[in-house]
Amino acid sequence: MQPTIHIAQHATESMLFFVLLQLTLIVLAARVGGEIAVRLGQTAAVGEIVVGILLGPSLLGLLAPRAFHAIFLSIPPAPLQMLSQIGLILLMFQIGLEFDFGHLRSGRNRRAVLWVGLASMVAPFALGAAWGWVAAPELSPQAGRVASALFVATAFSITALPILGRILMDFNLTRTPLGVIAISAAAINDVAGWLLLALVTTLTLSHFDAASFAIKVALVLGFMLLWMFGLRPLMRRIVHRFQAAGRDLPPHLLGIVLAAIFASGMATYQIGIFAIFGGFMMGVILHDETRFVRAWNDQVSPFVLVFFLPIFFTYTGLRTDIGGLASAALWAWCAALVLLATLGKFGAAYLAARICGMSRPEAGIMGALMNTRALMELIVINVGYDLGAISRPVFTMLVIMAIFSTILTAPLLRLWLPRAGYALPAPTDMPAASPQA
Protein backbone atom coordinates (compact mmCIF):
# COMPACT_ATOMS: atom_id res chain seq x y z
CA MET A 1 0.00 0.00 0.00
CA GLN A 2 2.79 2.42 0.94
CA PRO A 3 4.69 2.04 -2.37
CA THR A 4 1.46 2.76 -4.25
CA ILE A 5 0.97 5.98 -2.29
CA HIS A 6 4.59 6.96 -2.94
CA ILE A 7 4.20 6.38 -6.69
CA ALA A 8 0.98 8.42 -6.77
CA GLN A 9 2.66 11.28 -4.90
CA HIS A 10 5.60 11.20 -7.31
CA ALA A 11 3.25 11.32 -10.31
CA THR A 12 1.40 14.27 -8.79
CA GLU A 13 4.61 16.14 -8.06
CA SER A 14 5.85 15.44 -11.60
CA MET A 15 2.64 16.81 -13.11
CA LEU A 16 2.80 19.86 -10.82
CA PHE A 17 6.38 20.52 -11.94
CA PHE A 18 5.43 20.59 -15.63
CA VAL A 19 2.29 22.66 -15.01
CA LEU A 20 4.37 25.23 -13.13
CA LEU A 21 6.96 25.19 -15.93
CA GLN A 22 4.22 25.81 -18.52
CA LEU A 23 2.68 28.62 -16.47
CA THR A 24 6.04 30.32 -15.93
CA LEU A 25 6.77 30.33 -19.65
CA ILE A 26 3.24 31.40 -20.59
CA VAL A 27 3.00 34.33 -18.18
CA LEU A 28 6.43 35.75 -19.08
CA ALA A 29 5.97 35.23 -22.83
CA ALA A 30 2.55 36.88 -22.72
CA ARG A 31 3.92 39.99 -21.03
CA VAL A 32 6.70 40.27 -23.62
CA GLY A 33 4.30 39.67 -26.51
CA GLY A 34 1.79 42.17 -25.18
CA GLU A 35 4.47 44.84 -24.73
CA ILE A 36 5.80 44.33 -28.26
CA ALA A 37 2.28 44.52 -29.69
CA VAL A 38 1.56 47.77 -27.86
CA ARG A 39 4.79 49.31 -29.17
CA LEU A 40 3.70 48.33 -32.69
CA GLY A 41 0.36 50.10 -32.25
CA GLN A 42 -1.66 46.94 -31.56
CA THR A 43 -3.53 46.00 -28.40
CA ALA A 44 -1.85 43.78 -25.82
CA ALA A 45 -4.41 41.06 -26.64
CA VAL A 46 -3.01 40.71 -30.17
CA GLY A 47 0.51 40.13 -28.83
CA GLU A 48 -0.78 37.52 -26.40
CA ILE A 49 -2.66 35.71 -29.17
CA VAL A 50 0.40 35.61 -31.43
CA VAL A 51 2.63 34.44 -28.58
CA GLY A 52 0.17 31.67 -27.86
CA ILE A 53 0.40 30.50 -31.47
CA LEU A 54 4.22 30.74 -31.47
CA LEU A 55 4.51 28.60 -28.35
CA GLY A 56 2.71 25.80 -30.17
CA PRO A 57 3.85 23.58 -33.04
CA SER A 58 3.81 26.53 -35.47
CA LEU A 59 7.16 27.82 -34.17
CA LEU A 60 8.47 26.29 -30.93
CA GLY A 61 7.49 22.80 -32.06
CA LEU A 62 9.23 23.43 -35.39
CA LEU A 63 12.45 25.02 -34.14
CA ALA A 64 12.88 23.05 -30.91
CA PRO A 65 10.73 19.92 -31.07
CA ARG A 66 12.41 18.27 -28.06
CA ALA A 67 11.90 21.31 -25.86
CA PHE A 68 8.31 21.70 -27.09
CA HIS A 69 7.57 18.06 -26.33
CA ALA A 70 9.22 18.20 -22.92
CA ILE A 71 7.40 21.37 -21.83
CA PHE A 72 3.92 20.89 -23.26
CA LEU A 73 3.50 17.22 -24.12
CA SER A 74 5.02 15.49 -21.11
CA ILE A 75 1.69 15.58 -19.27
CA PRO A 76 -1.97 15.53 -20.42
CA PRO A 77 -3.39 18.91 -21.49
CA ALA A 78 -6.30 18.79 -19.01
CA PRO A 79 -4.79 21.12 -16.31
CA LEU A 80 -3.98 23.83 -18.87
CA GLN A 81 -7.35 23.39 -20.55
CA MET A 82 -9.31 23.80 -17.31
CA LEU A 83 -7.31 26.85 -16.24
CA SER A 84 -7.86 28.43 -19.67
CA GLN A 85 -11.61 27.95 -19.47
CA ILE A 86 -11.84 29.35 -15.92
CA GLY A 87 -9.87 32.38 -17.06
CA LEU A 88 -12.18 32.88 -20.02
CA ILE A 89 -15.29 32.77 -17.81
CA LEU A 90 -13.77 35.37 -15.46
CA LEU A 91 -12.75 37.56 -18.41
CA MET A 92 -16.30 37.46 -19.77
CA PHE A 93 -17.58 38.50 -16.33
CA GLN A 94 -15.23 41.49 -16.41
CA ILE A 95 -16.35 42.41 -19.90
CA GLY A 96 -19.98 42.36 -18.74
CA LEU A 97 -19.04 44.64 -15.82
CA GLU A 98 -17.41 47.20 -18.09
CA PHE A 99 -20.42 48.08 -20.25
CA ASP A 100 -23.03 50.75 -19.62
CA PHE A 101 -26.11 49.23 -21.20
CA GLY A 102 -28.10 52.35 -20.42
CA HIS A 103 -27.21 53.46 -23.94
CA LEU A 104 -29.64 50.82 -25.23
CA ARG A 105 -32.56 52.85 -23.89
CA SER A 106 -32.24 54.84 -27.10
CA GLY A 107 -34.42 53.43 -29.87
CA ARG A 108 -31.76 54.36 -32.42
CA ASN A 109 -29.14 52.33 -30.59
CA ARG A 110 -31.44 49.31 -30.18
CA ARG A 111 -32.17 49.42 -33.90
CA ALA A 112 -28.45 49.56 -34.65
CA VAL A 113 -27.78 46.53 -32.42
CA LEU A 114 -30.44 44.51 -34.24
CA TRP A 115 -29.35 45.50 -37.75
CA VAL A 116 -25.61 45.18 -37.13
CA GLY A 117 -25.98 41.88 -35.28
CA LEU A 118 -28.22 40.36 -37.95
CA ALA A 119 -26.25 41.63 -40.95
CA SER A 120 -22.88 40.54 -39.51
CA MET A 121 -24.30 37.07 -39.02
CA VAL A 122 -26.20 36.46 -42.26
CA ALA A 123 -23.76 37.86 -44.84
CA PRO A 124 -20.63 36.02 -43.56
CA PHE A 125 -22.62 32.82 -43.21
CA ALA A 126 -23.70 32.99 -46.84
CA LEU A 127 -20.18 33.72 -48.10
CA GLY A 128 -18.66 31.04 -45.87
CA ALA A 129 -21.19 28.48 -47.08
CA ALA A 130 -20.36 29.34 -50.70
CA TRP A 131 -16.59 29.05 -50.11
CA GLY A 132 -16.99 25.80 -48.19
CA TRP A 133 -19.26 24.30 -50.85
CA VAL A 134 -16.81 25.10 -53.65
CA ALA A 135 -13.67 24.13 -51.70
CA ALA A 136 -14.93 20.91 -50.10
CA PRO A 137 -14.25 18.49 -53.02
CA GLU A 138 -10.63 19.64 -53.27
CA LEU A 139 -9.70 20.62 -49.71
CA SER A 140 -11.95 18.39 -47.59
CA PRO A 141 -12.73 15.39 -49.78
CA GLN A 142 -13.20 13.18 -46.73
CA ALA A 143 -16.22 15.23 -45.65
CA GLY A 144 -19.72 15.66 -46.94
CA ARG A 145 -20.06 18.81 -48.98
CA VAL A 146 -22.99 20.16 -46.96
CA ALA A 147 -21.32 19.53 -43.60
CA SER A 148 -18.08 21.18 -44.69
CA ALA A 149 -19.90 24.23 -46.07
CA LEU A 150 -21.97 24.63 -42.90
CA PHE A 151 -18.96 24.49 -40.57
CA VAL A 152 -17.01 27.04 -42.62
CA ALA A 153 -20.08 29.27 -42.73
CA THR A 154 -20.46 29.08 -38.96
CA ALA A 155 -16.77 29.93 -38.47
CA PHE A 156 -17.20 32.98 -40.75
CA SER A 157 -20.16 34.15 -38.65
CA ILE A 158 -18.53 34.10 -35.20
CA THR A 159 -17.42 37.34 -33.51
CA ALA A 160 -14.84 36.97 -30.72
CA LEU A 161 -16.77 38.46 -27.82
CA PRO A 162 -13.92 38.26 -25.24
CA ILE A 163 -11.33 39.86 -27.53
CA LEU A 164 -13.78 42.45 -28.80
CA GLY A 165 -14.46 43.44 -25.21
CA ARG A 166 -10.74 43.56 -24.46
CA ILE A 167 -10.10 45.83 -27.46
CA LEU A 168 -12.97 48.12 -26.46
CA MET A 169 -11.44 48.42 -22.99
CA ASP A 170 -8.04 49.23 -24.50
CA PHE A 171 -9.55 52.05 -26.59
CA ASN A 172 -11.76 53.41 -23.75
CA LEU A 173 -14.95 52.64 -25.67
CA THR A 174 -16.74 50.49 -23.10
CA ARG A 175 -19.13 53.19 -21.92
CA THR A 176 -19.74 54.86 -25.27
CA PRO A 177 -22.74 54.23 -27.53
CA LEU A 178 -20.49 52.71 -30.22
CA GLY A 179 -18.89 50.30 -27.76
CA VAL A 180 -22.20 49.22 -26.23
CA ILE A 181 -23.80 48.71 -29.66
CA ALA A 182 -20.80 46.63 -30.78
CA ILE A 183 -20.67 44.40 -27.69
CA SER A 184 -24.46 43.96 -27.67
CA ALA A 185 -24.53 43.04 -31.35
CA ALA A 186 -21.59 40.69 -30.80
CA ALA A 187 -23.35 39.05 -27.84
CA ILE A 188 -26.45 38.42 -29.98
CA ASN A 189 -24.18 37.25 -32.77
CA ASP A 190 -22.34 34.83 -30.51
CA VAL A 191 -25.44 33.33 -28.90
CA ALA A 192 -26.87 32.79 -32.37
CA GLY A 193 -23.50 31.38 -33.43
CA TRP A 194 -23.39 28.83 -30.59
CA LEU A 195 -26.96 27.77 -31.34
CA LEU A 196 -26.00 27.53 -34.99
CA LEU A 197 -23.00 25.40 -34.04
CA ALA A 198 -25.32 23.07 -32.13
CA LEU A 199 -27.61 22.92 -35.16
CA VAL A 200 -24.80 22.25 -37.63
CA THR A 201 -23.26 19.62 -35.36
CA THR A 202 -26.53 17.75 -34.97
CA LEU A 203 -27.17 17.97 -38.70
CA THR A 204 -23.69 16.58 -39.35
CA LEU A 205 -24.31 13.73 -36.95
CA SER A 206 -27.79 13.16 -38.49
CA HIS A 207 -29.47 13.41 -35.10
CA PHE A 208 -31.18 16.78 -35.51
CA ASP A 209 -34.44 17.18 -33.61
CA ALA A 210 -36.32 20.40 -34.38
CA ALA A 211 -38.29 20.24 -31.13
CA SER A 212 -35.21 19.89 -28.91
CA PHE A 213 -33.47 22.71 -30.77
CA ALA A 214 -36.48 25.00 -30.26
CA ILE A 215 -36.44 24.10 -26.56
CA LYS A 216 -32.77 25.08 -26.39
CA VAL A 217 -33.53 28.51 -27.88
CA ALA A 218 -36.36 28.98 -25.37
CA LEU A 219 -34.06 27.97 -22.50
CA VAL A 220 -31.47 30.58 -23.53
CA LEU A 221 -34.11 33.32 -23.59
CA GLY A 222 -35.51 32.10 -20.26
CA PHE A 223 -32.03 32.14 -18.72
CA MET A 224 -31.47 35.75 -19.76
CA LEU A 225 -34.86 36.86 -18.38
CA LEU A 226 -34.37 34.97 -15.11
CA TRP A 227 -30.91 36.45 -14.58
CA MET A 228 -32.05 40.00 -15.37
CA PHE A 229 -35.31 40.05 -13.39
CA GLY A 230 -34.70 37.34 -10.78
CA LEU A 231 -31.02 37.05 -9.93
CA ARG A 232 -30.09 40.70 -10.54
CA PRO A 233 -32.18 42.11 -7.62
CA LEU A 234 -30.88 39.35 -5.32
CA MET A 235 -27.23 39.97 -6.21
CA ARG A 236 -27.63 43.72 -5.81
CA ARG A 237 -29.07 43.24 -2.30
CA ILE A 238 -26.16 40.94 -1.41
CA VAL A 239 -23.61 43.46 -2.69
CA HIS A 240 -25.20 46.35 -0.77
CA ARG A 241 -25.47 44.32 2.44
CA PHE A 242 -21.79 43.39 2.50
CA GLN A 243 -20.69 46.88 1.45
CA ALA A 244 -22.69 48.44 4.30
CA ALA A 245 -19.76 47.65 6.60
CA GLY A 246 -17.60 50.04 4.58
CA ARG A 247 -15.47 47.74 2.41
CA ASP A 248 -16.09 47.68 -1.34
CA LEU A 249 -15.09 44.04 -1.85
CA PRO A 250 -14.87 42.08 1.43
CA PRO A 251 -13.72 38.43 1.22
CA HIS A 252 -17.20 36.99 1.82
CA LEU A 253 -18.67 39.09 -0.99
CA LEU A 254 -15.86 38.04 -3.34
CA GLY A 255 -16.53 34.39 -2.51
CA ILE A 256 -20.26 34.73 -3.18
CA VAL A 257 -19.67 36.53 -6.49
CA LEU A 258 -17.16 33.92 -7.67
CA ALA A 259 -19.59 31.13 -6.77
CA ALA A 260 -22.37 32.96 -8.65
CA ILE A 261 -20.14 33.37 -11.72
CA PHE A 262 -19.31 29.66 -11.79
CA ALA A 263 -22.93 28.65 -11.15
CA SER A 264 -24.01 30.91 -14.01
CA GLY A 265 -21.46 29.24 -16.28
CA MET A 266 -22.73 25.82 -15.26
CA ALA A 267 -26.28 26.92 -16.04
CA THR A 268 -25.46 28.00 -19.60
CA TYR A 269 -23.45 24.82 -20.12
CA GLN A 270 -26.46 22.75 -19.11
CA ILE A 271 -28.64 24.76 -21.47
CA GLY A 272 -26.32 23.85 -24.32
CA ILE A 273 -24.33 27.05 -24.96
CA PHE A 274 -20.84 27.78 -23.71
CA ALA A 275 -20.16 28.52 -20.05
CA ILE A 276 -18.51 31.83 -20.95
CA PHE A 277 -21.92 33.32 -21.74
CA GLY A 278 -22.98 32.64 -18.15
CA GLY A 279 -19.97 34.60 -16.93
CA PHE A 280 -20.84 37.47 -19.27
CA MET A 281 -24.44 37.62 -18.00
CA MET A 282 -23.27 37.81 -14.39
CA GLY A 283 -21.17 40.82 -15.31
CA VAL A 284 -24.09 42.44 -17.12
CA ILE A 285 -26.40 42.23 -14.09
CA LEU A 286 -23.79 43.90 -11.86
CA HIS A 287 -22.41 46.46 -14.32
CA ASP A 288 -24.03 49.46 -12.58
CA GLU A 289 -22.73 48.61 -9.10
CA THR A 290 -20.04 51.28 -9.25
CA ARG A 291 -18.27 50.52 -5.96
CA PHE A 292 -18.13 46.82 -6.68
CA VAL A 293 -16.91 47.32 -10.28
CA ARG A 294 -14.13 49.66 -9.15
CA ALA A 295 -13.03 47.27 -6.41
CA TRP A 296 -13.07 44.25 -8.74
CA ASN A 297 -10.98 46.13 -11.31
CA ASP A 298 -8.47 47.15 -8.65
CA GLN A 299 -8.16 43.86 -6.76
CA VAL A 300 -9.05 40.97 -9.08
CA SER A 301 -8.92 42.04 -12.72
CA PRO A 302 -5.12 42.37 -13.06
CA PHE A 303 -4.59 38.78 -11.90
CA VAL A 304 -7.20 37.45 -14.34
CA LEU A 305 -5.65 39.30 -17.27
CA VAL A 306 -2.01 38.60 -16.44
CA PHE A 307 -2.39 34.96 -15.38
CA PHE A 308 -5.56 33.32 -16.71
CA LEU A 309 -6.06 34.89 -20.14
CA PRO A 310 -2.61 34.05 -21.62
CA ILE A 311 -3.23 30.43 -20.65
CA PHE A 312 -6.26 30.39 -22.93
CA PHE A 313 -4.28 31.79 -25.86
CA THR A 314 -1.42 29.35 -25.35
CA TYR A 315 -3.67 26.32 -24.98
CA THR A 316 -5.33 27.25 -28.28
CA GLY A 317 -1.95 27.79 -29.91
CA LEU A 318 -0.85 24.29 -28.94
CA ARG A 319 -3.53 22.92 -31.27
CA THR A 320 -2.60 25.13 -34.23
CA ASP A 321 0.03 24.44 -36.90
CA ILE A 322 0.28 27.25 -39.45
CA GLY A 323 3.01 25.37 -41.31
CA GLY A 324 0.32 23.09 -42.75
CA LEU A 325 -0.11 25.19 -45.92
CA ALA A 326 2.65 23.85 -48.15
CA SER A 327 1.68 24.90 -51.69
CA ALA A 328 0.81 28.03 -53.68
CA ALA A 329 -2.64 26.62 -54.41
CA LEU A 330 -3.41 26.25 -50.71
CA TRP A 331 -2.27 29.80 -50.05
CA ALA A 332 -4.53 31.01 -52.88
CA TRP A 333 -7.48 29.26 -51.25
CA CYS A 334 -6.45 30.86 -47.97
CA ALA A 335 -6.31 34.34 -49.50
CA ALA A 336 -9.80 33.89 -50.95
CA LEU A 337 -11.09 32.72 -47.56
CA VAL A 338 -9.60 35.70 -45.70
CA LEU A 339 -10.95 38.15 -48.31
CA LEU A 340 -14.49 36.75 -48.26
CA ALA A 341 -14.59 36.53 -44.47
CA THR A 342 -13.45 40.14 -44.11
CA LEU A 343 -15.84 41.46 -46.75
CA GLY A 344 -18.71 39.56 -45.21
CA LYS A 345 -18.22 40.76 -41.63
CA PHE A 346 -16.82 44.24 -42.19
CA GLY A 347 -18.96 45.07 -45.20
CA ALA A 348 -22.23 43.86 -43.69
CA ALA A 349 -21.67 45.67 -40.38
CA TYR A 350 -20.63 48.85 -42.21
CA LEU A 351 -23.72 48.90 -44.40
CA ALA A 352 -26.02 48.08 -41.49
CA ALA A 353 -24.52 50.92 -39.44
CA ARG A 354 -24.99 53.36 -42.31
CA ILE A 355 -28.61 52.29 -42.71
CA CYS A 356 -29.11 53.05 -39.00
CA GLY A 357 -27.84 56.61 -39.46
CA MET A 358 -24.22 56.34 -38.37
CA SER A 359 -21.58 58.47 -40.07
CA ARG A 360 -18.99 56.88 -42.34
CA PRO A 361 -16.25 56.88 -39.67
CA GLU A 362 -18.68 55.41 -37.10
CA ALA A 363 -19.78 52.75 -39.57
CA GLY A 364 -16.13 51.95 -40.30
CA ILE A 365 -15.46 51.56 -36.58
CA MET A 366 -18.46 49.24 -36.26
CA GLY A 367 -17.27 47.15 -39.20
CA ALA A 368 -13.77 46.84 -37.76
CA LEU A 369 -15.09 45.85 -34.33
CA MET A 370 -17.51 43.22 -35.62
CA ASN A 371 -14.78 41.77 -37.85
CA THR A 372 -12.74 40.90 -34.74
CA ARG A 373 -12.73 37.11 -34.56
CA ALA A 374 -9.51 36.22 -32.75
CA LEU A 375 -9.40 32.62 -31.56
CA MET A 376 -12.96 32.06 -30.36
CA GLU A 377 -13.84 30.62 -33.73
CA LEU A 378 -11.37 27.82 -33.03
CA ILE A 379 -14.10 26.33 -30.88
CA VAL A 380 -16.18 25.98 -34.04
CA ILE A 381 -13.43 24.74 -36.30
CA ASN A 382 -12.12 22.29 -33.71
CA VAL A 383 -15.58 20.72 -33.56
CA GLY A 384 -15.66 20.62 -37.35
CA TYR A 385 -12.20 19.10 -37.54
CA ASP A 386 -12.96 16.49 -34.88
CA LEU A 387 -16.11 15.48 -36.78
CA GLY A 388 -14.18 15.29 -40.06
CA ALA A 389 -16.19 18.12 -41.65
CA ILE A 390 -13.09 20.20 -42.45
CA SER A 391 -9.53 19.16 -43.24
CA ARG A 392 -6.31 20.23 -41.54
CA PRO A 393 -5.47 22.78 -44.28
CA VAL A 394 -8.92 24.39 -43.96
CA PHE A 395 -8.48 24.44 -40.18
CA THR A 396 -5.19 26.31 -40.63
CA MET A 397 -6.72 28.78 -43.10
CA LEU A 398 -9.46 29.64 -40.63
CA VAL A 399 -6.86 30.23 -37.89
CA ILE A 400 -4.97 32.61 -40.17
CA MET A 401 -8.21 34.42 -40.96
CA ALA A 402 -8.96 34.81 -37.25
CA ILE A 403 -5.54 36.28 -36.51
CA PHE A 404 -5.61 38.59 -39.55
CA SER A 405 -9.05 39.99 -38.67
CA THR A 406 -7.94 40.76 -35.12
CA ILE A 407 -4.66 42.39 -36.14
CA LEU A 408 -6.58 44.57 -38.60
CA THR A 409 -8.85 46.00 -35.90
CA ALA A 410 -6.45 48.36 -34.07
CA PRO A 411 -5.10 50.17 -37.19
CA LEU A 412 -8.65 50.73 -38.46
CA LEU A 413 -9.75 52.07 -35.08
CA ARG A 414 -6.79 54.44 -35.00
CA LEU A 415 -7.78 55.63 -38.48
CA TRP A 416 -11.48 56.23 -37.84
CA LEU A 417 -11.86 57.05 -34.13
CA PRO A 418 -10.49 60.63 -34.43
CA ARG A 419 -12.71 61.22 -37.46
CA ALA A 420 -15.71 60.13 -35.39
CA GLY A 421 -14.78 62.50 -32.55
CA TYR A 422 -13.16 59.99 -30.17
CA ALA A 423 -9.80 60.56 -28.51
CA LEU A 424 -7.14 57.89 -29.00
CA PRO A 425 -5.24 56.48 -26.01
CA ALA A 426 -1.50 57.06 -26.23
CA PRO A 427 0.31 53.95 -27.54
CA THR A 428 2.35 53.63 -24.37
CA ASP A 429 -0.83 53.79 -22.31
CA MET A 430 -2.70 51.06 -24.16
CA PRO A 431 -2.22 48.30 -21.58
CA ALA A 432 -3.32 50.61 -18.79
CA ALA A 433 -6.37 51.93 -20.63
CA SER A 434 -8.39 49.45 -18.60
CA PRO A 435 -7.61 47.60 -15.40
CA GLN A 436 -6.25 44.69 -17.36
CA ALA A 437 -2.53 45.08 -17.48
Domain that holds residue 249: 79-432
Question: Has residue 70 been placed in a domain?
Answer: no
Can you give the CATH number for the domain in which 180 is found?
1.20.1530.20
Least confident segment among 61-70, 215-224, 346-355, 380-389: 380-389
Question: Has residue 22 been placed in a domain?
Answer: no
Number of domains into which the chain is organized: 1
Mean per-residue pLDDT, 204-210 = 65
Residue 332 CB coordination number (10 Å): 10
Q: Where are the alpha helices (DSSP H) in 140-244?
A: 145-157, 161-170, 177-204, 210-226, 232-243
Mean per-residue pLDDT, 8-22 = 83
Question: Has residue 1 been placed in a domain?
Answer: no
Mean residue pLDDT across the chain: 83
Residues 252-294 pLDDT 10s: 999 999 999 999 999 988 887 778 778 888 998 998 898 999 9
Residues 371-399 pLDDT 10s: 988 756 766 777 788 778 888 888 888 88
Q: Does position 68 have pLDDT exceeding 70, yes or no?
A: yes
| CB under 8 A, 24+ apart: contacts of 378-386 | 378/316, 378/319, 378/320, 378/402, 379/197, 379/274, 380/151, 380/154, 380/155, 380/158, 380/193, 380/197, 381/151, 381/155, 382/319, 383/151, 383/197, 383/201, 384/147, 384/148, 384/151, 384/152, 384/154, 384/155
Mean per-residue pLDDT, 72-87 = 86
Mean per-residue pLDDT, 28-43 = 86
Mean per-residue pLDDT, 336-358 = 93
Region class of 56: left (phi > 0), else alpha (psi between -120 and 50), else beta = beta
Residues 83-104 pLDDT 10s: 988 988 998 898 788 766 665 6
According to the model, what pLDDT value does residue 435 have? Answer: 33
Question: Has residue 96 been placed in a domain?
Answer: yes
Question: Has residue 15 been placed in a domain?
Answer: no
According to the model, what pLDDT value does residue 207 have? Answer: 62
According to the model, what pLDDT value does residue 161 have? Answer: 75
Max Cα-Cα span within the chain? 74
According to the model, what pLDDT value does residue 99 have? Answer: 64
According to the model, what pLDDT value does residue 96 have? Answer: 81
Which of the pair, 108 or 25, is modelled with greater confidence?
Answer: 25
According to the model, what pLDDT value does residue 295 have? Answer: 93
Question: Has residue 86 been placed in a domain?
Answer: yes
Region class of 321: left (phi > 0), else alpha (psi between -120 and 50), else beta = beta
Question: Has residue 116 been placed in a domain?
Answer: yes
Residues 230-261 pLDDT 10s: 999 999 999 999 998 888 899 999 999 999 99
Question: Has residue 203 been placed in a domain?
Answer: yes
**CA distance linking residue 385 with residue 373, whole number of Å:** 18
Q: Does position 10 have pLDDT exceeding 70, yes or no?
A: no
Assess contact for 348 and 123: CB atoms under 8 A: yes
| Per-residue pLDDT band at 426 (split at 50, 70, 90) | low
